[in-house]
Amino acid sequence: MSETSRDISLREFQRLIREMYLEKDLARGVDGTFMWLMEEVGELASALRDGTHEERMGEFADVIAWLTTIANVVGVDLNDAVARKYGDGCPGCGRLICTCDMAEKP
């Protein structure tokens, strides 16, 4: 895809990943798929330290794709999950602009 590719919603992305990979993902299962996600998180960590912007973009995309894959395997609608948890603001303080203490995980 080009740098000017179209916007894609979370729901569309989850559907796309499901259509491309669900059969393989179900065969691999949650544990195997989770290990791939962890590998991609490690690659993202490396790209954040020493990578180019292009490498970082690729690793962010990979992490989101593998996370989406796990959601598909366990039947979680990511759009619904994100909307429920973050749709009304910070889950900690309930505000649109978080006012939670910096030492706390919101």
Give the count of beta carbons closer than 10 Å to the beta carbon of residue 70: 17
Once rounded to an integer, what is the mean pLDDT over residues 83-89? 95
Task: State residue 37's pLDDT score.
Answer: 97
- Three-state helix/strand/coil letters over 50-75: HCCHHHHHHHHHHHHHHHHHHHHHHC
Task: State residue 104's pLDDT score.
Answer: 80
Task: State residue 36's pLDDT score.
Answer: 96
- Residue 75 neighbours by CB under 8 Å, 6+ apart: none
CA 63 – CA 47 distance, rounded (Å): 12
Find out whether 106 and 93 touch, Cβ atoms under 8 Å.
yes
Task: State residue 75's pLDDT score.
Answer: 97
State both tokens at 19: 């259509």
Task: State residue 106's pLDDT score.
Answer: 62
Element (H, E) at 21: helix 10-50
What confidence tens digit (pLDDT) does each residue in 22-71 have? 999 999 999 999 999 999 999 999 999 999 999 999 999 999 999 999 99
Find out whether 66 and 36 touch, Cβ atoms under 8 Å.
yes
Query: All domains of the chain, ordered by start, with CATH?
Result: 10-75 (1.10.287.1080)
